[in-house]
Amino acid sequence: MSRQTPGRSKGLNGWLLSTPALILLLLAASGPLLIVAVYSVLEKGDYSGVRWILSGEGWFRVLFEKDIFDHTISLADANLSIFWRSFKLSIATTVITFAFGLPTAWFIATRPAKSRAFWLFLITIPFWTNLLIRTFAIMEVIRNQGILNTFLMHFGLISEPIQILYTDTAVLMGMTYVYLPLMVLPLYAAIDRFDFRLIEAGYDLYASRWQVLRGVILPIIKPGIIAGCILVFIPSLGAYVTPRVLGGGKNMMIGNFIELQFGQGQNWPLGAALSTVLLLVVLVSLLVYTRASSRDNPNG
Amino acid sequence: MQRGICILSTNIAVDARNVGKIYGNGAGAVTALGDVSIAIEKGEFFTLLGPSGCGKTTLLRCIAGFETPTTGTIHLSGRDITYDPPYQRPVNTVFQSYALFPHLSVAQNVGFGLKMQGTPASDVAKAVERVLALVKLEAFADRLPQQLSGGQQQRVALARALAPEPEVLLLDEPLSALDLKLRKEMQSELKRLQTETGITFIFVTHDQEEALTMSNRIGVMSAGALLQVGTPHDIYESPVNRFVADFIGETNFLEGEVEGGQVRIGTGDLLAVDLNGETGGVTLAIRPEQVSVKAADAQLSGKITEATYLGTDTHYTIGLGDGSHLVARVQSNSVAAFGVGDTVGIAIDAKAVQVLKS
């Protein structure tokens, strides 16, 4: 990787040219992360902020709580349920976006080359509008007096409005909608490179439709599947706006819980520790991704 | 009737009857295959030969099951398979692009068909070993396709299609991507494999030389129609029409008129040839090697306009009096070399001249 190629040696010039990028990376990316990591091991300030005294309290409070009267230690059930909900909803979002994304990406990749750009354009349209506005739009659709309930009641399919808003279902719907393009695009890129003649080869060698899908198509587009799943799973896990707006106050996810610690909770070390946990989860999933895709593609 | 077909078909591997394929409909419809009927015998090396777009690949894809014929039926060993999906046909294909599975090793590629048929893993392993030995790729079993050369990939594709021991092996221009030397090697390799396995091979190519050297029988196609079916010898020596004669090897064509049991050609000379019952306007097809060039006067005379030395042979293009040309292929050492501008005598072996309807 660092092998020097003639005429392209990394001399002083190379370092000078990359200095602005390096400084930006250091200050804008690594700096904040470092601050978060340091804050997580400090004592919490009286109202907010931190006191510069080393303390494990922040990390301790991620999983446990101490009774304020008798100081008994127990698992923090409220935190655990938030973690569980975050994982559950993120995995569900990933699975649902994959279920919708694969046929969509397949459809686009099999259109004539001329019309593909048009379909991809449609996929990217939601990116033009602010996430908050789109989330409020979903709220308008699913609230009790919203479009969906009015429609269903008008046709007599239901007599009472269904309570969707401020439930996990609402959060799931919102996240599925928001992250679907992030699943479709990498899947499309993978299917676009797929050699469709291999399907005929599979059929020719006695594979049924299902066997061709499982034994030929999915393994070959696997890098795209993993990329899509990671692109959906990671932001889902840290989602803030969607659960805040559609989940209401009580259906918190990790993102909202972290925000709470830096805001009303006034517990910056706990917030910082939670952020670091989230970061580590993301790193682990990325590691899994690199492993999985490099094992299958020894030649890239 | 049914019984008659059964008895008749015991020796027939593939029996295509009146197969036609039309793409699209209405005014934009394209006929890829006219009305082709063909019976291919068991254990035969049969070649479908024709220029690109003649329908040979469409016919092959109909036999493989990738296309459904618009009209007609296809029987395999007496069983109607016209509408069977490809995975239910005991027929395998060697694709022009090889279409090897990039995520599977050579051994997994070769074992794919057997695995899909539900063969136990130990039997698959044994069969893979045997077939890889057949194509001399034992040492590459664990490689991925992209780690192999084009010729090796070609042999993996062949092994993969042979492993399930199909009744018929379809080969869609499998050698077209190889360089000349490798192509020659693979030609004899294919011939050897066909003899060793006894599997019926249906080979599609546009290369007439390939067709002549490898096949038991050849079907020449053009514009969606089957023009002639026969042994390489038949097709070369007695082409049914000008297209076949022109497509198979080099041929001189002379237009003429039947006149008293002979043919008067453009120069006014009369040629005594086997008329084969033809009358009126005819075309004489004459192979270059059947034209001899002499210093003295002969049947015809002409002036050499081009002389090309090709080692063992020399090609002479000889202008006849009426503006037409004849190409003669002469063994370089058999006659004194002529030069451009020399007036020479031309003798044509009358028995070898093919008389075609104009």
What residues does B72 pair with on adjacent strands? none
User: Has residue A101 got a pLDDT over 60?
Assistant: yes
pLDDT of residue B3: 41
pLDDT of residue B142: 95
Q: Give me the helices (H) in A125-250, please.
A: 131-142, 147-154, 168-193, 197-204, 209-212, 218-220, 222-237, 241-246
Structure tokens at A114: 């001329």
For the residues B15-38, what does the mean pLDDT come to? 90
Least confident of A202-206, A219-223, B285-289, B329-333: B329-333
Nearest-CA distance from B327 to chain A in Å?
44
CB B13 within 8 A of CB B42: yes
The verdict on B112 touching A (C-beta cutoff 8 Å) is: yes
CA angle (B153, B156, B162) in 5-degree steps: 145
What percent of chain B clears pLDDT 70, i.e. is strictly above it? Answer: 96
Which A residues in the span 196-255 are in contact with B, Cβ-Cβ below 8 Å? 197-198, 200-208, 211, 215-216, 219-220, 222
The band of A2, judged by pLDDT with boundaries at 50, 70 and 90, is very low
Nearest-CA distance from A220 to chain B in Å?
6
The band of A296, judged by pLDDT with boundaries at 50, 70 and 90, is low
The pairing of strands B200-205 and B45-49 is parallel
User: Has residue B331 got a pLDDT over 90?
Assistant: no
pLDDT of residue B335: 63
- SS3 assignment, position A95: helix
Q: What is the DSSP letter of B338?
A: P
pLDDT of residue B301: 84
Which A residues in the span 279-298 are in contact with B, Cβ-Cβ below 8 Å? 296, 298
pLDDT of residue B350: 78
- SS3 assignment, position A93: helix
For the residues B98-125, what does the mean pLDDT come to? 95
User: Has residue B268 got a pLDDT over 70?
Assistant: yes
B230-259 pLDDT, tens digit each = 999 999 888 888 899 888 888 888 888 888
A134-192 pLDDT, tens digit each = 999 999 999 988 899 999 998 988 888 889 899 999 999 999 999 999 999 999 999 99
A2 compared with B210, residue with greater pLDDT: B210
The verdict on B87 touching A (C-beta cutoff 8 Å) is: yes
The band of A8, judged by pLDDT with boundaries at 50, 70 and 90, is low
Q: A200 to chain B: which residues are within 8 Å by CB?
A: 66, 86, 93, 95, 99
Distance CA A193, CA A198 (A): 12
Taking alpha carbons only, the member of B60, B52, B51, B50 closest to residue B19 is B60
The band of A11, judged by pLDDT with boundaries at 50, 70 and 90, is confident
Distance CA A93, CA A170 (A): 12
User: Has residue A276 got a pLDDT over 90?
Assistant: yes
User: Has residue B273 got a pLDDT over 90?
Assistant: no
Q: B164 to chain A: which residues are within 8 Å by CB?
A: 205-206
Contact A207 B92 (CB under 8 A): no
pLDDT mean across residues, chain A: 88
- The helices-and-strands tally (H runs, E runs) of chain B is 9, 20
Reported ipTM exceeds the 0.95 cut: no
CB A102 within 8 A of CB A111: no
What residues does B202 pair with on adjacent strands? B46, B170
For the residues B327-335, what does the mean pLDDT come to? 80
Which strands make up the sheet holding B343-348, listed edge to edge?
A: B291-294, B343-348, B300-310, B313-319, B325-331
H/E stretch holding B257 reads strand B252-259
The separation between the first and the last C-alpha atoms of chain B, rounded to the nearest angstrom, is: 40
User: Has residue A299 got a pLDDT over 60?
Assistant: no
pLDDT mean across residues, chain B: 88
From residue A272, give the alpha-carbon distance in Å to each of A30, A81, A275, B55. Answer: 15, 19, 5, 70
Distance CA B45, CA B196 (A): 12
Which of B66, B113, B144 minimises the CB distance to A200? B66
Contact B64 A204 (CB under 8 A): yes
Length of chain A: 300
User: Has residue B6 got a pLDDT over 60?
Assistant: no
User: Has residue B5 got a pLDDT over 80?
Assistant: no
User: Has residue B138 got a pLDDT over 50?
Assistant: yes
What percent of chain A clears pLDDT 70, i.e. is strictly above it? Answer: 94
User: Has residue A295 got a pLDDT over 70?
Assistant: no
Taking alpha carbons only, the member of A78, A45, A74 closest to residue A60 is A74
Q: What is the DSSP string of B66-122?
A: SS--SEEEEEETTEE-TT--GGGSSEEEE-TT----TTS-HHHHHHHHHHHTT--HH
